[in-house]
Each structure stands twice: as structure tokens, then as C-alpha cells.
Amino acid sequence: MNPSKQAVKKRRKKVIPLSLDATFFFERAVQSLDRYHYDKALKYFRRAVEYEPNNPVNHCNMAGILSEMGRYEESNDVLRSVLERVDPSMTECHYYLANNYANMEKYEDAEKALVRYLETDEEGQFLDEADELLELLRYELNRPAPLSTIKSKENVYAHDKARELLEAGRFAEAVRLLEEIIARQPDFLAARNNLGLAYYYMGMFDKSILTIREVLEAEPGNLHALCNLAIFYQHSNKDAELEDLLVLLLKTVPFHPEHVFKLSTTLGIVGRHAEAYGHFRRLLRSSELSGEASLHHFAAVAAANVGRYDDAQRHWQQAERLDRTSEVPAFYLKKLVKMRMGEDSPPTHYHYHLPFDEQFRKWTESPELLPGALKQDPLIRSSFFWALRHGDRKTKVQVIQALGLVADAEVIEALKTFLLDPKEEDELKRVAVLVLRSIGVNDALHVQFGGRLIILEAKRKAPRLPVWDSAWQAVLEKAMEQMSGRYDVIQQHDMMTLWVDYLSRVYPNVPKLIKSSGWAAALEYWTAKMHRQTITYHDLVARYDASQASISRYVNRIDEACGIREKMKQVLTIPQLPVLQ
């Protein structure tokens, strides 16, 4: 072969084919930008757009170059084209538009574009720059921007609202909001932490522990989560897990006052009062919280539990000076006298309010104060919901009746949840059903009775009773006692509903119920009649120890108010329909 031809062939093999695509022109544009050759950069970005017309980034790059060159209107044309035709989800284009309008001194247009960016952009990439531009526009327009929300901070604002709901004792509402936040932003650990607390306040221990463990999986050293978990372990009787966790917490010496307060109250709640008192003293010596009456109360509780009664007295006296309106310091100063003599034990809880028994005694004496206290004080609400879940039988009956005085959405939801708890007694659920009906909840109720799910049908709306009297409850309990085993759950529910219906119709002129037996027998009489069961006065007299005259009189009174005979007559006169073939 000719040597010259061989040389040509070798040279041809060294030729690298040039691939002209959007990436090639993008790289050339960047190189031109580095050399401040804006005309060339613009030309190359235009070619990149020609190769990939549906790529919004190429369009935005071209708009950016036009803006750098001072060609703001052309830049805006490109940005509007992206939003209208290429990719409407490119919300950052609104920020670029705002910058261009500001450079053109079209401040109102800039404001509209910036508000649109802040209200629609989820990432918040230019949040700091947007704040600076907002300040400029506020100065130029002499007014704040009409900004309703910042989309990228939506969860932060919602979390603040959820915290307010928790502090107000509206736990069910807080749970719903926090669950929505976490669904949108699973890594929002503060929201997940507070969700665990909300479950705990509602007595849902298993869910609270699970939620806090999710926080610790993401951030093992999260002090708030560790402290919450310690409290949850204690109230779930998980002693081994609690001891393991306390080994870590007792080694922890936080610096920030918020963390010191969290750790100290946690240690006190789980019974490590000496260590808790040490942390409370740190706060009182070095923190702005030293002016808080509640902090002195917590320190007094810890001191009393380790036998430092002089310190406890000093702290409660200081709390009394700082908070003249509270009954708490005076109550415990009075108890402290008995504590010193060994006749009374120190308080076991770290809440700045009176013990539940003492609160309930006061409200029993002045029941008109209870609704306001339950509505206004989140700690009191929390203690009532806690007692509903974990109090003894007598306390639960009192709490159910007391919650009926408030009857807000939170209370209704708590009582409905109570009806579905298989661990609660059927008798307590009957009281809850009665209270729900008495406060005007007439929709169908789902109840776990006797280990099976029962649906109590919706009832006619009746006037709401403003209070539930103990004498009315006595009639109900007497009837339930005699009807148990003779009537099924539905029939017993109908008896309760009839009693509420009667009381609602005659209120406020309810007759004096001196003896409950006769009224209870009358309720069973009408329940049997409504369900076509055989019943005789002779049987009722024997079982209820009431005279036939009394039972008959009360039967007639109930009928006069509720019109039962007339209703039953109407049912009986309905003609029978022929059987379909």
C-alpha cells in the first residue's frame, strides 16, 4: 500500500466524532459564563433549548442569562412560557419573575410573584433570599405583603398549632393534625415526638411507645424522645426497659435550660427524686425560669420526696409569693406539716395543680365550677382523660358523669373510644352510653359489650339535659341490676334511652325520686312491652320490693310524657303485607 495512503488512514482513525446535543451546548454555555461572555452563553443556551425544548432547566438557564444582561422583559417572557407551557410545577420561576420585576422597579408585580412563590413552593430553596426581597418590597410599598402562608414552612406552622392544641388539652385534634404533618413530612421528629405525647395524654400507651421508638430510630440521642419513653415505660410497667434507659439518662448532663427541665421532670416522674432535685436547683440558680412558680413547686416536690422538708417549705413559700392566685402552694404547705410527722406522704406527681381527688372533692361541692375548669385548664382535662383510662371503677363513673358536663367534641370522641375498649367493664360502658345520649349524641353507637361488637341504633334527638343527677343514676342502676340476665344488651340500651327520653321531656320538672325501685320497675315494664315480652306487676313487685300502686303510677307517668301506648298501637295497626312470590 502507498505509504501516503497509510498515513491518511492512520490520521482518520484519530478523528473523534463530535456529538451535538443539549449537554454539549450546556457545557459550552457554562464555559462562556466563566469567561463572562454572556452573548456566547446565551447563544449556547438557546441551542440547548432547541435540542431539548421540553426541559424546563434549559429555559430557566436562558432566562437567567437574559436577566444578567439586563433584558428583564425577555427573561420574564421565557419564565412565563415555562410556567404556562413547559412545566407549571417549576415554582422557582415565580421567584425569578419577582427578582426581574424588582429590578424593573415594578414592585407590585414583584410582590405578587414573590407571594405566589412562597405560597406554592414546597422546597424553600430561595427562602432566605425571599425574606430579603420581602423586606425590600415592604420598604418600597410601605406595607407588608399580603402573605397568607409559606408553603415550605407549612408543617412548621401546623406543628405550632398542634402544640397549642396540646397545651389547651384538645388532644384528639392535636393527634389528627400531627398525623397529617407526619404523613407529609415523615422526618419531622418534633412532630412525631409530640404525637407520642398526645397518644400518652389520651391513655394510648402502646401507640405512644411505638411513635417515640420511631423518633429514636431516626435520632438515637433525641433527649425529648428518651425522656418521653422513660415515662411511657413507667406507666406501662416495663421495669426492665426503664432501668436500662435510666442508666443513660442519669449520665446525661444537658446544657440548654429546656433540656435540663425536661430531664429533671422526667427523673422526678420515674421516682429518681434526688437526681431530679439536683437538676431543678441548677435551673433555679442559673435560669430565667427561676421566676416561675411552677418550677419552685417541682423543686419542692422533689425535695419533699428525699426528706428535705425545709427546702420543700422554702420552695413552696416562694411559689406562693410568685403566684398569689394559685391554690397549689398553700395546699402543699398545709400537707407538709403532716409529711414532717410521717402522717402523710409527699406527692408522687409533678404537675402544678391539685391532686385529682382534691379537685374532684371541690367540684362535688361546687359543680358549677367544673365545666369551666375542664374547658380552660389543659392539665385538668388531661387528668380527667387519664382517670378515664386508668382510674378505679368509682373514679371512672365520676369522670364519665363529669365529662358529660363539658360535652365538647373531644369529650364525645373520648367516650366513644371508651365504648370500644374490650378491657373496660360493661357497666361503665352503659353509664357512658347514657351520658352520651343525655348530652344529645343520637347517632348510632358502636360498643364492645360482652366481648362482641354491638351497634346501638341512632335515636330521635331529645332535649339535652344540662346535668346528670345521682338520683337518676340510682334508678338506672337498680333497673340494670334486675334486668341483667333477663334482657339482652339492645333491650337494656333501649331501657336507658327511654329513661333519658322521659327525663328530657319533663325537665326541669322532674319528680322527686325518693325511692328508685318503683321507677326502675316501671322502666323494665315498658322495656318488656316494647319488645313483646311477657311481664306482670306481680313479678315486678316481688323483684323490686315496690308496691303495685307505685309501679303502676310511675308506668303511667312515663307513658304520659313519652306516649308509649300510642306508639305501640300505631305499630300494631299496620296491615300485614302479602308474601311476595
Residue 488: is it exposed, middle or buried by C-beta count within 10 angstroms (0-12/13-18/19+)? middle
Which among 131, 124, 130, 126 is positioned nearest to 152, based on CA atoms?
A: 124
Residue of 258, 256, 199 lying closest to 231 (CA atoms): 199
Please indicate, yes or no, whether residues 262 and 173 belong to a single structural domain of this protein: yes
Task: Give me the residue label for grid cell 407529609.
Answer: 184
In angstroms, the CA 432 to CA 328 distance is 31
The 3-state DSSP class for residue 127 equals helix
Residue reference for cell 393534625: 177
- Of residues 180 and 152, more confidence is placed in 180
Q: Is residue 140 part of a domain?
A: yes
Rounded Cα distance between 482 and 519, Å, is 12
> What pLDDT is stored for residue 297 in this prediction?
92
Residues of the domain holding 491: 468-574
Q: Could you say which of 118, 148, 178 is where a domain stops? A: 148
In a domain, 257, yes or no: yes
Count structural domains, the chain.
Answer: 3
Percent of the chain with pLDDT over 70: 81
- Summarised one tens digit per residue, pLDDT across range 30-79 is 766 666 666 777 777 777 777 677 777 777 877 888 888 888 888 888 88
Q: How many of the other CB atoms lie within 10 Å of CB of 348?
A: 12
Taking only the tens place, the pLDDT of each residue in 506-552 is 887 888 887 888 898 989 999 888 888 888 888 898 888 888 888 88
pLDDT at 147 (0 to 100): 64
174 with 225, same domain? yes
Same-domain pairing of 477 and 520: yes
CATH number of the domain to which 168 belongs: 1.25.40.10
**Using CA atoms in the order 549, 552, 554, 557, what is the torsion angle rounded to 10 degrees?**
-120
In terms of domains, do 199 and 77 share one? Answer: no
Residue 392 lies in a domain: no
Beta carbons of 500 and 510 less than 8 angstroms apart: no
104 and 172 housed in the same domain? no
- In-domain check, residue 388: no
pLDDT digits (tens, 9 = 90+) for 282-338: 888 876 777 788 899 999 999 999 899 999 999 999 999 998 888 889 999 998 888
49, 176: one domain:
no
Instruction: Looking at the structure, tell me whether residues 106 and 163 fall in a common domain.
Output: no
Domain boundary among 306, 324, 357: 306
pLDDT in tens, 83-130: 888 878 778 888 888 888 888 888 888 888 877 877 777 666 777 777
Q: Any idea what DSSP says for residue 573?
A: T
Q: The C-alpha cell of 170 is what?
A: 384538645
For residue 355, is it within any domain? no
Q: Are 530 and 497 in contact (CB under 8 A)?
A: no
Count Cβ atoms below 10 Å from residue 575 Cβ, excluding itself: 5
Shortest CA distance to 525 belongs to which of 508, 540, 538, 513?
540
Residues 144 and 165 reside in one and the same domain: no
Residues 564 and 472 in one domain: yes
Domain-ending residue, one of 288, 306, 324:
306
The answer to whether residue 95 is domain-embedded is yes
Residue 11 lies in a domain: no
**Grid coordinates given for 70:** 439586563
Give the CA angle between residues 131, 136, 138 to the nearest 5°: 90
Whether 124 and 55 map to the same domain: the answer is yes
| CA atoms lying within 13 Å on the CB side of residue 184 | 16
Is the pLDDT confidence value at 278 over 60? yes
136 lies in the same domain as 226: no
**Under 8 Å between Cβ of 487 and 514:** no
Question: Higher confidence at residue 451 or residue 564?
Answer: 564
The interaxial angle of helices 537-544 and 548-562, nearest 10 deg, is 110
Question: According to the model, what pLDDT value does residue 575 have?
Answer: 32
Q: Which residue has the cell 383510662?
A: 389
pTM over 0.75: no
- pLDDT confidence band for 580 (50 / 70 / 90): very low
If asked whether residues 170 and 26 sit together in one domain, one would say no
For residue 564, the domain's CATH number is 1.10.472.10
End-to-end CA gap in the chain: 105
Q: Is 87 a domain residue?
A: yes
